[in-house]
Amino acid sequence: MLLLLTLKDFVIVDRLELEFDAGFGTLTGETGAGKSILIDALALALGERADAGVIREGREKTEITATFDLAQVPEAAAWLAGQEIESEDGTLILRRVLDRSGRSRAAINGVTVTLQQLREVGEFLVDIHGQHAHQSLLRADAQRERLDAHGDLLPLAREVAAAWKTWKQAEKQLAAAQTAGEANASERERLVWQLEEGAALNLAADEWPELEAEQRRLSHAAGLIEDAQCALAALADEDASCVAQVSQALVRVEAMAAVDTALAETAGLLASVEAELTEAVSGLRRYADHLELDPARLAEVDARMSAILSFARKYRTEPEAIPARMAEWQTRLEGLAAAADVASLQQQVEAEAARWRALATRLSAGRQKAGKALSAAVSEQMRALALANGRFEVALIPVAGGAAFGLEQVEFRIAGLAQQEARPLVKVASGGELSRISLALQVVTAQNASVPTLIFDEVDVGIGGGVAEIVGRLLARLGAERQVLCVTHLPQVAACARWHWQVRKYIAAGLVSSHIETLDDNARVEEIARMLGGVDLTATTRQHAREMLAGAAHHT
């Protein structure tokens, strides 16, 4: 669950540190005091996109830190392990910094991450139901996603979408093969001819540099022989050769060193020179012994190089790159051959279609089961929310030919409000009814979710009186299983909370600031009384507030 949220220079908040408790809590305050700022900041820490407009006036950056306990969230712990991010004491710390330039930085347990990674781990931690969440219920895709989430069908729905994509790609390949058959045949013929010509050339991977080296040696053989003989004469073969003179000098210096040890190092150096000269002479003799004039081999090498250069010029490549170019031709030819196999491609299309249909059929069965359960549960909650005659239904409408989302579209329907026949939600529900239906859906689906922390941001808009009290009890019951925070303007809802925060706005040093404080029992009475009676509080209003709190405690 969420343990701690720290805000710095966020909108109208200077510095704020909030410690969260378990169960159902509420955040109240006057209109414009900044009740939704807390939700916006948490959303930012969970990877929501934002711009520099959220930075407090006169500051250069904003920073939000959220700390979570992972004891009841094994999915998040497994995600951290998969990302190789360590977690000390089973806690998770999300940190988000945004500066005036719009540059954003994010970290998880001190490790720099992307916003996508924040969003991924956030899906295991918090579910935020915004104050306009009911509007999304009017979209067909939102209704389908809500049903799939309720039935734990989202992974299967993703498989169906992926199978659909693969199927359609196979269809495109088949169509391309059918329409481009003649052009592909011409290209295949050309590639076969080029590969046959390259095979006849039979150029090995390292042959070209070896040929270049051999050609240089053979073409300069006469000069190399002459230079080797001259070098040998100077070094060893003449009477005054280098080796002879160094040997004579070595004998004299060694004799001198026997008398004066100061020359011992010099004698050693001369001995080393004599040894290296002797080694050089040996190497040069071996080289000279293998040198020979071979015009026939030179002509053969020249002819081979000429053939390779001609091939390289013809196909506009470098001689050493010919083997790689031939490999490219072979790969292209194999691809064309596969594309030309219309029968095989047709079989692939049929196989992918069958795979998609099998997955989509499983998804349909799951949706039918989940739809019945969701219909019954939401209908029951609607009756509790003063929609006693209402009945919620999940309709599965077949889609001809199917789609990426499956064999059917999902449509939420309502019956019994002003008519008997079930009709689409978008056509029959008023604003207040839609808010209550949305809340019923959120309560039902949240009970089956694995996310430990639920945030409700003024989802009770359009609700009042006894219905508001029922909403508070619903949230309190939900708080018995999960951590719940509800931003509300209704005293009936706030009275049902286990813990209570109040947000206040004030002006200091010319700047508007927002502050949140935890209310004790007496302060809660004052706040509930304010929500009931406005600015001028009376003893009667306070007594009403005490009775409301006592009644809520009795029922929760």
Domains of the chain: 1-125+452-556 (3.40.50.300), 186-338 (no CATH)
Q: Taking the complete model, does pTM exceed 0.85, yes or no? A: no
pLDDT value for 278: 84
pLDDT (tens digit per residue) in 423-452: 887 776 666 667 677 777 877 877 666 788
Structure tokens that stand for 486 in this block: 């509800």
Angle at CA of residue 184, ends 178 and 185, nearest 5°: 105
Looking at the DSSP bridge assignments, the partners of residue 13 are 10
Structure tokens that stand for 318 in this block: 């470098």
Q: CB burial class (10 A; 0-12, 13-18, 19+) of residue 186?
A: exposed
Residue range 5-34: mean pLDDT, rounded = 87
Q: Which of 554, 496, 177, 512 is nearest to 335 (CA)?
A: 177
Structure tokens that stand for 92 in this block: 């998770």
**Residue 444 in contact with residue 149, Cβ under 8 Å?**
no
DSSP string, 247-293: HHHHHHHHHHHHH-GGGHHHHHHHHHHHHHHHHHHHHHHHHHHH---
pLDDT (tens digit per residue) in 519-543: 999 999 999 999 887 667 888 889 9
Structure tokens that stand for 458 in this block: 């003024």
Q: Is 33 helix (H, G, I), strand (E, B) or coil?
A: coil
Q: Is 132 helix (H, G, I), strand (E, B) or coil?
A: coil
**Residue 289 in contact with residue 232, Cβ under 8 Å?**
no
pLDDT at 363 exceeding the cut of 90: yes
Q: How far apart are the C-alpha atoms of 223 and 219, rounded to whole Å?
A: 9
pLDDT value for 171: 92
Q: How far apart are the C-alpha atoms of 121 and 78, rounded to whole Å?
A: 10
Q: How far apart are the C-alpha atoms of 147 and 395, rounded to whole Å?
A: 11
pLDDT at 30 exceeding the cut of 70: yes
Neighbours of 161 (CB within 10 A): 18
* N-term to C-term CA, the chain: 21
pLDDT at 124 exceeding the cut of 90: no
pLDDT value for 112: 93
pLDDT value for 239: 67
Q: Report percent pLDDT > 70 for the chain.
A: 90
Residue range 194-200: mean pLDDT, rounded = 90
Between residues 226 and 242, which one has the greater pLDDT? 242
Q: How far apart are the C-alpha atoms of 334 and 346, rounded to whole Å?
A: 18
Q: How far apart are the C-alpha atoms of 481 and 315, rounded to whole Å?
A: 73
Estimate the crossing angle of helix 295-314 against helix 181-201, to 10 degrees. 170
Q: Which of 408, 415, 370, 409 is nearest to 392 (CA)?
A: 415
Going from the C-alpha of 72 to that of each of 205, 241, 488, the distances in angstroms are 60, 91, 27
pLDDT value for 93: 94
pLDDT (tens digit per residue) in 125-182: 988 876 555 556 678 888 898 899 889 899 999 999 999 999 999 999 888 777 666 6
Instruction: Give CA 35 to chain center in angstroms.
Output: 31
Q: Report percent pLDDT > 90 for the chain.
A: 31
Residue range 216-223: mean pLDDT, rounded = 72
Task: Label residue 337 by pLDDT band (50, 70, 90).
Answer: confident
Q: How many CA atoms lie within 13 A of 68 on its CB side?
A: 29
Residue range 101-127: mean pLDDT, rounded = 90
pLDDT at 218 exceeding the cut of 80: no
- Element holding 440 (H helix, E strand): helix 431-447
pLDDT at 421 exceeding the cut of 60: yes
Task: Label residue 459 by pLDDT band (50, 70, 90).
Answer: low
Q: What is the CA radius of gyration of the chain?
A: 42
Average pLDDT, the chain: 85
Q: Is 412 helix (H, G, I), strand (E, B) or coil?
A: strand
β-pairing, 499-508 vs 24-29, is parallel
Contacts of 169 (CB under 8 A, 6+ apart): none
pLDDT at 474 exceeding the cut of 90: no
pLDDT at 549 exceeding the cut of 80: yes
pLDDT at 419 exceeding the cut of 70: no
pLDDT value for 338: 67
Q: How far apart are the C-alpha atoms of 467 and 385, rounded to whole Å?
A: 5
